[in-house]
Amino acid sequence: MFARSRSRCFATRLLLACALSALAPGVCSALTGDVGLPEDPVSGNAVPLTSAANRRAEAMARVAAGLIAEDDNLDDALRHYQRALDLDPSNAPLARQVAGILLHRGEAPEALAVLKDASKRRPESAVLALQIAEVYAVSLRKFDLAQRYAERALQQEPDLIEPYQLLYGIHRATGHLDDAAALLQRATERKNQDPEFWAGLGDLFLRQSLMTDGKEARTASVSALAHYRQAVKLGWQNASVLLRALNFFAAGGYGEDAVSCGRRLLILQPSDSVSREKLALALISLGRDDEALVELDAVVVENPASPAAYRAQGEILLRRGDRRAAADKFEKALVLFDEDPQLYLELADLYLQTGEIERAIRWLGEARTRFDRLPELPYYEGLLLSRLQRWHEALQAFNLSADLAAKYQPAFLTPEFHFQRGMASERTGKYDEAVRDLRSCLALDPDHADALNYLGYMWAERGENLAEAESFIRRALQREPDNPAFLDSLGWVLHQQGRYHEALPPLERASKTIAQPDAAIEEHIGDVLEKLGRKQDAVKAWERAVSLGDASPKLAAKLQSARKDSATPGGTAESPKP
C-alpha cells in the first residue's frame, strides 16, 4: 500500500502541475481550492472557465483529486471522476474509470449509461465497445446485445485478441458451438505480428480442447500448440508471452519446446525460480537428468522453500540408486509441504528399501494423523506391518482403514483389501473374521487366485471343508498352474483327505519349481512319504526342511521319533508301499 500511495501521490503532483500551468492565476486558485488546496486569497471564489484548455485542466485536477481519494473513499473518488468526465466527456479512459467504480458498487445500468455516452462521442473506440459488451455479458447476461458490441469492437480492431475472447465466451454460453469454432478459424487467418494475439489465441484453442473430446479436442490441442509456438517466435523478448507458452508446453508434455522456451525466459528473468523448476521438469521428461540437477540446484539456492525442486531432486537420486540421499530430499519436501499423502507413502517405501523400518512406520503414522480421512494410509501401514509379521498391529491398521472407507470412500474396500485383512486375521488366530474377509474378496473377484489358495490351504491346515478347499485350490491353479505355493496347497489338501499317492506329485513339482527351497514344502513331502511307508525318504525330506530353517514346531518331534524308530531292531526296514 505504501508503494501504491507513493506512486499515486507522484501522479497527482504531475497532473496538478500540468493543470495549473495551463491556467491563469485566478483560475489556478479556484482549482486548487476545489481539490482541497488553498482558495484564491482575494475572493475565495472559483473563477469561471473561459476556454476548452481551462476545462481540460480542471478535469485533470479532478482526476488528480480522484486518485488521492480512491485509496480511502471510492464515493469521493467517483464524485471527482464524474465531475472530470462532465468537463471532458470524450475522455474514454476516464469513462471506463467511472464505469469501473460503478460496476464495483453493483450499479451496472449506471455504468452502462456512462460507457454508451462516451461511445457516442468516440464511436471509433474498440475498447469502449468491448467494455460495453462485457457489461452486457457478465453483469446483465444480455448476450445478444453483448454480441452486437463485441462484433463492433472486432470490426474496429480485428488484430486485438480481446474481442475474439469475449465473442468466443458468448458463443459458448449461448450454445452456438459452430459459431465459436468459426470464430477461432477466423482469428487463425489473421496476418498478425503481435505475440500477445497468438498467445491469447493459443489460450482459446486450449480452452476449446478442454471443452470438447475425441478428434475435435485433439485438433484444438494441435492448433493451440502451433499458436503458442508462433507467440514464442514473435515474442522472443516478451517474458509474459514466454511464460504462458512455457506453462502450456510443460503441462502438455512438449519437452523440447518447454526447454527452449524456458531457457529463453530465464535469460530475460534469471531469478524466476518457478520457470526454472518447469525447465528442470521438462529436462527430466527428456531423460536429461544431469542438466535438470543443475537447474534444480539453482532453484534451491534462489528459493530454498521449493518442495517441488527437492522432490524432483529426490526422484533423480532414486533413479541413480542413491536411496539415502533421495530420502533426505523427500523429507525436505515434506517439511515444506505436508499436503501430499503420496509423498508420505513414497518416503515410507524408500525407508523400507533401505531397511529403516521404524522410520518408515513413523512417516506412515504421521501421514495417518495428518490425513485422518484417507483409508489408503492405514491400509499401507497395515501392508508394511504385515511384511514385518507384526500381525496384530497390521490388523488394527486394516480395521481403521475399513472404518474410514465405510465413512468416506466405500469403493476402497476392494478384493485386495479384503484379502490382506483376511490374511492378517488368520495370522492372529481370528479364523471366522479371516473366512469372512476371504469370502468377501471372492465375492468381488471370484478369480482372485491368492484368496482361493489362502482360504483353501487354511481349511486344509485345520482339516475343515476339505472338498471345498480342494475345489478352491484347483481354481487357483487354473489361473497359475506353475505356482509352487498353490501346488503345495493341493498336495497338502490331498494329504489331509488321505489321498497320499495323489498328493506326492504336486508336492514334488512344487519343490522343483520354487526359486528357493522351502521348509514347509519339504516337510509336507516328508509327511506324505511317511504315510506311503517310505520312512527313510521321509527322514531325508524332514532333514532338508530342518536345514532350511523356519521349520514347524512339530517337525523336530517327528524327526526324533522317526530316527528312534530306525534305531530299534527291524526299524531300518521300510514298510511295504501300498
Contact 87, 55 (CB under 8 A): yes
**What is the rounded distance in angstroms from the CA atom of residue 349 to the CA atom of residue 355?**
10
pLDDT band at 63 (very low <50, low <70, confident <90, very high): low
Which pLDDT score, from 0 to 100, does residue 567 have?
Answer: 59
Helices (H), 189-272: 195-211, 214-234, 239-252, 255-268
Please tell me what DSSP assigns to residue 47.
P
Q: Please give the share of the chain, as a percent, with pLDDT higher than 70.
A: 85
Q: Is the pLDDT of residue 257 over 80?
A: yes
Query: Is 174 within a domain?
Result: no
pLDDT band at 455 (very low <50, low <70, confident <90, very high): very high
Helices (H), 388-463: 391-408, 415-427, 431-444, 449-462
**Which residue from 119, 115, 122, 121 is spatially nearest to 98, judged by alpha carbons?**
115
Task: Work out the average pLDDT over 355-381.
Answer: 89
**What is the rounded distance in angstroms from the CA atom of residue 223 to the CA atom of residue 215?**
12
Q: Is the pLDDT of residue 321 over 50?
A: yes
Look up residue 131 and give its three cell numbers. 467494455
Over the stretch 412-434, which tens digit does the pLDDT of each residue have? 999 999 999 999 999 999 999 99
Please tell me what DSSP assigns to residue 46.
P
Contact 466, 493 (CB under 8 A): yes
In which residue are the cell numbers 481349511 written? 459
Q: Which domain holds residue 246?
A: 192-303
pLDDT band at 64 (very low <50, low <70, confident <90, very high): low
319 phi, psi to nearest 5 deg: -65, -30
The set of residues, in sequence order, having a beta carbon less than 8 Å from that of 124 and lying 6+ positions away, is 156
Look up residue 553 and give its three cell numbers. 514346531
pLDDT band at 566 (very low <50, low <70, confident <90, very high): low
Q: Which helix (H) or strand (E) is 44 found in, with range?
A: none
Least confident of 130-144, 363-377, 488-502: 363-377
Least confident of 50-64, 147-161, 303-317, 333-347: 50-64
CB atoms closer than 10 angstroms to residue 415? 19
**What is the rounded distance in angstroms from the CA atom of residue 534 to the CA atom of residue 576?**
8
Contact 352, 360 (CB under 8 A): yes
Over the stretch 119-149, which tens digit does the pLDDT of each residue have? 999 999 999 999 999 999 999 999 999 999 9
pLDDT band at 86 (very low <50, low <70, confident <90, very high): confident
Q: Is the pLDDT of residue 338 over 90?
A: no
Contact 118, 90 (CB under 8 A): yes
Task: Work out the average pLDDT over 9-36.
Answer: 39
Handedness of CA 223, 229, 233, 236 (dihedral sign): positive
The set of residues, in sequence order, having a beta carbon less than 8 Å from that of 53 and lying 6+ positions away, is 22
Please tell me what DSSP assigns to residue 23.
S
Query: Is 262 within a domain?
Result: yes
Query: Is 440 within a domain?
Result: no
**What is the rounded distance in angstroms from the CA atom of residue 314 to the CA atom of residue 308?**
10
Query: Is 212 within a domain?
Result: yes
- Average pLDDT for the chain: 86
Which pLDDT score, from 0 to 100, does residue 568 have?
Answer: 57
**What is the rounded distance in angstroms from the CA atom of residue 519 to the CA atom of residue 522?**
5
Handedness of CA 228, 232, 235, 239 (dihedral sign): positive
445 phi, psi to nearest 5 deg: -140, 90
Contact 297, 317 (CB under 8 A): no
Query: Is 298 within a domain?
Result: yes
**What is the rounded distance in angstroms from the CA atom of residue 410 to the CA atom of residue 419?**
16
CB-based contacts of 308-315 (< 8 A; 24+ apart in sequence): 308/277, 308/281, 308/333, 309/273, 309/277, 309/280, 310/336, 311/343, 312/277, 312/280, 312/281, 312/284, 315/284
**Which residue from 526, 561, 571 is spatially nearest to 546, judged by alpha carbons?**
526
Which pLDDT score, from 0 to 100, does residue 576 have?
Answer: 36
For residue 447, give the amino acid letter.
D
For residue 152, give the amino acid letter.
R
Query: Is 287 within a domain?
Result: yes
Look up residue 136 and give its three cell numbers. 452486457
CATH number at residue 259: 1.25.40.10
Task: Work out the average pLDDT over 505-509.
Answer: 97
Query: Is 224 within a domain?
Result: yes
Q: Is the pLDDT of residue 42 over 90?
A: no
Look up residue 414 and give its three cell numbers. 476392494
**What is the rounded distance in angstroms from the CA atom of residue 324 to the CA atom of residue 465?**
49
Q: Which helix (H) or strand (E) is 491 found in, with range?
A: helix 484-496
- Is the entire prediction scored with pTM above 0.75? no
**What is the rounded distance in angstroms from the CA atom of residue 151 to the CA atom of residue 120?**
16
- Strand ranges (E), 89-238: none
Task: Work out the average pLDDT over 202-224.
Answer: 92
Total structural domains within the chain: 1
